[in-house]
Amino acid sequence: MKTNYYVIGDPVGHSLSPVIHNTLYGIYGLDCVYSARKVTRNDLPSFIDFAQNGPVGGFNVTMPLKKEIIQYLDLLYAPGSVNTVVKTPGAQLAGYSTDAQGFYAGLQSKGYAYTNQNVVFIGYGAVTQLLAQDAMDKGAARITVLNRTPDKAKAFAQHDRAVVDALDRISLYMEDCDILINTTPLGMAGTGNDFQDLSFIQMLRPSAIVCDLIYDPPTTALLAAAQKNGNAALNGLPMLIWQAFYAFEKFFGIMPTIQDYEVVHQKLMADK
């Protein structure tokens, strides 16, 4: 009997995770199948029962369940947000997050690192918190979090080297920004919402990189403005692939290679 792995959330039908993981199963000859499964908050208890008692090896978690899942876990190795759950031999559920690792791998692929850099985040949610903490841990000179409602991020402002401000004051932070990261859905296909004014991009130095966690469309208006300004641009696809690779490592103890990355990337592009 095949071992089942899932990505759960709502909505989840658009997820590219099944393509990534099933491609890896083929590469490594694993008798597993990975599927997207719609699970709402109300469905979560029954899914947990199914995962613990059925032929399930683990699952990934997307919105809106990354925090909700924590109360159902036996072991927790992630601060406040979980995207990977592994079922242990004793049917205990262990939660991890590979989002920060995935993003940083993508950033490094562009030749950038956090050390001594001024990092500016647009938006403040669970993923921002993980990435910002990772940036601090890796030696960022300063972290700035810009949000429409800055009060939500006040707790983060208590950190050393952290600044929290309103998004409409973004122009004040662009001249010395080295890494700009959008973690909001602004510009995502199907949302109908986008940045109303991208003139702040023109204040960036040519050496700065602009990152968008969105991968559909591949080039958002934010990234197009960055490229027009002469800045490096990074969309969310490398993060998506690498966080899946780190999740695969949690599931099987195997870290996929850069060659695997190229195979998976080509597969995703061919399926578009």
**Residue-by-residue DSSP string for 115-134:** TT-EEEEES-SHHHHHHHHH
Same domain for 191 and 221, yes or no, is yes
Q: Evaluate whether 10 touches 37 at the Cβ level (below 8 Å).
A: no
The whole domain housing 216 covers 100-235
Query: Does the pLDDT value for residue 21 go beyond 80?
Result: yes
Short-list 74, 103, 86, 59, CA closest to 253: 86
If you average pLDDT over residues 167-178, what whole number do you get? 97
Confidence band for 204, pLDDT divided at 50, 70 and 90 = very high
Cross-strand pairs, 32 = 3
What CATH number should be reported for the domain holding residue 12?
Answer: 3.40.50.10860
If you average pLDDT over residues 84-95, what whole number do you get? 95
Q: Read off the pTM.
A: 0.94
CA–CA dist 145, 162 (Å, integer) = 8
Whether residue 66 lies in the annotated active site: yes
Same domain for 228 and 165, yes or no, is yes
Same domain for 228 and 126, yes or no, is yes
Q: Evaluate whether 18 touches 6 at the Cβ level (below 8 Å).
A: no
Instruction: Please report, as a single letter, which amino acid is at residue 236.
Output: G
Averaged pLDDT score across all residues of the chain = 94
Query: Does the pLDDT value for residue 160 go beyond 80?
Result: no
Same domain for 139 and 208, yes or no, is yes
Confidence band for 272, pLDDT divided at 50, 70 and 90 = low
CA–CA dist 65, 256 (Å, integer) = 26
Cα separation values, 17 from 21, 128, 188, 191, 209, Å = 6, 21, 18, 21, 26
Neighbours of 175 (CB within 10 A): 11
| pLDDT score of 190 | 81
CA–CA dist 70, 80 (Å, integer) = 8
Q: Evaluate whether 130 touches 121 at the Cβ level (below 8 Å).
A: no
Confidence band for 265, pLDDT divided at 50, 70 and 90 = very high
pLDDT tens-place string over residues 214-243: 998 999 999 999 999 999 999 999 999 999
Q: Evaluate whether 265 touches 241 at the Cβ level (below 8 Å).
A: yes
Same domain for 253 and 161, yes or no, is no
What CATH number should be reported for the domain holding residue 106?
Answer: 3.40.50.720
Confidence band for 80, pLDDT divided at 50, 70 and 90 = confident
Lowest mean pLDDT: which of 168-172, 215-219, 267-271?
Answer: 267-271
Lowest mean pLDDT: which of 43-47, 96-100, 137-141, 147-151?
Answer: 147-151
Return the SS3 of 44: helix
Q: Which two tokens stand for residue 180?
A: 């700009």
Residue 187 backbone class (left: φ over 0; alpha: ψ -120 to 50; beta: rest): left
Same domain for 41 and 93, yes or no, is yes
| Segment holding 58, helix H or strand E | strand 56-61
If you average pLDDT over residues 56-70, what whole number do you get? 95
Please name the residues in contact with 207: beta carbons below 8 A apart, sequence gap of 6 or more.
178
Q: Evaluate whether 229 touches 202 at the Cβ level (below 8 Å).
A: yes
Of 2, 38, 66, 87, the catalytic one is 66
| pLDDT score of 161 | 80
Q: Evaluate whether 199 touches 231 at the Cβ level (below 8 Å).
A: no
